Structure 1
Amino acid sequence: MQSNLERFKAFYKTASLWSGTLLGLEQFGLSNFIFDHLKDQESLDLPVIPQGTLLGKRAEYFFKFCVEQSSNYQLLLSNIQIFKGKITKGELDYVIKDLRTNSTIHIELVYKFYIYNPTITSTEKSPVLQELNKYQGPNGRDNLVRKLEHLKNHQLPLLYTAEAVELLKSHDIAVEKIKQQVCFLAHVFIPHQLWDHKFKYIHKSSITGYYYKSSAFAKAETENTYFLPEKYAWKMTPQELLTSYTFHEALALTNDSLERGFAPLLWMQLTDKSFETFFVVK
């Protein structure tokens, strides 16, 4: 498997889902970080991430590392639990300081994998929401519009609750001076026939693969080699793993995974040793 440095590079290469502002949410891109002062990548003191750490939590480790290693930002607080009595109201991901402008920013980090399904219809009146509603999690249990609404209506407003204001005040941080942004990173998988389609509202660079319906994958037999990475490795650059599969072996494993309610990600190695990445969904 790849080294910790390669895992970090894979995280850092993940594209923002959009640029600028979408539905009132301002994007904070990883390209904002300046690392010019770092000369030797191999000697970086990378975060130690426990085995089995979920994909989203791994992203949190790496984002914090980016802030700490950058020359233009300072980490003030991270993963701040907000309590009302003994009840947890939520968590603020990061509060950082822009050393160039001396401004303070509250950032919520999101790291997602989405399937773009053009057949989904929506009762939303807004054309923007109608389009964004077509982005769903591979297992159908997640939805981009719901996530954006949760950010707008719960995660970002948490900053202005009395409990958060008091906690930040204890760290000499004035809430009224804080700017709010989201670092929304995503890998989008689309139908193969839409590869040249011009997508509205999202970065084309966030499209990293395609997907098959399970019935279509069953008819897509090849002599290529297949690998099924664990979920924590989904963001990684496709590579040869210890265990490889033929098409029929991969098909059986894929069907078993779908029966358990989980859409698998596959890396398919072609004869020229290049890779294609795709999901198989119900």
Structure 2
Amino acid sequence: MTSNYARFKAFYKTASLWSGELLGLEQFYLSNFNFDHLDNEESLELPVIPQGTVLGKRAEYFFKFCVEKSNNYKLLLSNIQIFKGKVTIGELDYIIKHKRTNTVIHIELVYKFYIYQPKIEADQFSEIHQELFKYKGPNGRDNLVRKLKHLKEHQLPLLYSEEARETLESHQIDISKVKQQVCYLAHVFIPQHLWPHKFEYINKNSIVGYYFNYSAFAKAETDNLYFLPEKYAWKMSPQELPVSYTYKKVLELTEESLERGFAPLIWMLVSSTNSFERFFVVK
């Protein structure tokens, strides 16, 4: 059983999807947090995360924990629901303050898994949007351009709504002085032949594995051992799990998973090198 501490470390080591700014969205890095005052990391009292909590919500627990345990930032508010009458019109993820400069920052947290599909074309978009449109969720129900659009047109502007202003002013926060950033963390999987490729716009450190189409995986038989991590463990470094599978069995389980609409993440222990590779299998 993987420890909560190991899961926290896996979260903290997740790379930002880009460096600096992308389409006007400025990145907030996890490395901004200073933990020099902490002596024994293993003794940290980690957040209690209810069993069954989805991956994105787990990331929220860990980000809040980072703010609270850092010695250079203070958490002012988190997961602030904004209401119009009795209707929720949105939520602001975090309002934090830098202790030395007193800079107040509104941060929206995003934690994603993407596969890069180079053959996708989107002629109606600008050149940069055409490239970013190639980043899709493993199950095809999510894409990078849509999420960036939602951040720019809904999540970040929500801060300046009259409803948000009233809520934050009740906490003595002057919206006109709040800076906005996104902490956009991602694990990107690419076709194997593109490992040498120079990717535009994204941080190459976010590329952690590759993917097969099912038809290609069905022809890629090996004698290696295969493991199927639960989704909460997808962010972990590949490792041996209590249950392992042969190629034949994992192919069968992969087909069943795809039929249910879910692309599985697979950890493969390569017998010749005793090292792991990780990949998605998609339709």
Superposed CA offset, 1:184-226 (max 9, x none): 0000000000011100000110000000000000000000000
What does residue 242 of structure 2 align with? 242
List aligned pairs for 1:212-227, cutoff 5 A: 212-227=212-227
Give the Å deviation of 1:237: 1.4
Higher deviation after alignment, 37-46 or 177-186: 37-46
Give the Å deviation of 1:137: 0.3
What does residue 281 of structure 1 align with? 282
Pair 1:190-2:214 in alignment: no
What does residue 208 of structure 1 align with? 208
Task: Report the Cα distance in structure 1 between the residues aligned to 2:110 and 2:52, rounded to whole angstroms.
Answer: 19
List aligned pairs for 1:5-154, cutoff 5 A: 5-154=5-154
Task: Report the Cα distance in structure 2 between the residues aligned to 1:110 and 1:100, rounded to whole angstroms.
Answer: 26
Give the Å deviation of 1:100: 2.1
Runs ≥4 in structure 1, deviation > 6 angstroms?
none
Pair 1:229-2:242 in alignment: no
Give the Å deviation of 1:124: 3.2
Task: Report the Cα distance in structure 1 between the residues aligned to 2:60 and 2:281, rounded to whole angstroms.
Answer: 27
Identity rate, percent: 73
Flag structure 1 segments of 5+ consecutive residues without an equivalent. none
Superposed CA offset, 1:50-90 (max 9, x none): 11100000000000000001011000000000011111101
Higher deviation after alignment, 228-237 or 147-156: 228-237
- SS in structure 1 at match of 2:93: strand
Task: Report the Cα distance in structure 2 between the residues aligned to 1:185 and 1:124, rounded to whole angstroms.
Answer: 27
Question: C-alpha root-mean-square deviation of aligned residues, in Å?
Answer: 0.7
Pair 1:254-2:260 in alignment: no
Give the Å deviation of 1:239: 1.0
What does residue 158 of structure 1 align with? 158
Task: Report the Cα distance in structure 1 between the residues aligned to 2:222 and 2:125, rounded to whole angstroms.
Answer: 43
What does residue 178 of structure 2 align with? 178
Task: Report the Cα distance in structure 2 between the residues aligned to 1:273 and 1:60, rounded to whole angstroms.
Answer: 34
Give the Å deviation of 1:274: 1.3
What does residue 270 of structure 1 align with? 270
Task: Report the Cα distance in structure 1 between the residues aligned to 2:13 and 2:71, rounded to whole angstroms.
Answer: 19
Task: Report the Cα distance in structure 2 between the residues aligned to 1:49 and 1:154, rounded to whole angstroms.
Answer: 28
Task: Report the Cα distance in structure 2 between the residues aligned to 1:124 and 1:155, rounded to whole angstroms.
Answer: 24
Give the Å deviation of 1:273: 2.6
* Number of equivalenced pairs: 282
TM-score (norm 2): 0.99
- SS in structure 2 at match of 1:244: coil
- SS in structure 1 at match of 2:61: helix
Task: Report the Cα distance in structure 2 between the residues aligned to 1:273 and 1:172, rounded to whole angstroms.
Answer: 56
Task: Report the Cα distance in structure 2 between the residues aligned to 1:44 and 1:91, rounded to whole angstroms.
Answer: 29
TM-score (norm 1): 0.99
Letter in 2 for 1:280: V
Task: Report the Cα distance in structure 1 between the residues aligned to 2:113 and 2:134, rounded to whole angstroms.
Answer: 13
- SS in structure 1 at match of 2:165: helix
- SS in structure 2 at match of 1:209: strand
Task: Report the Cα distance in structure 2 between the residues aligned to 1:151 and 1:261, rounded to whole angstroms.
Answer: 26
Letter in 1 for 2:127: P
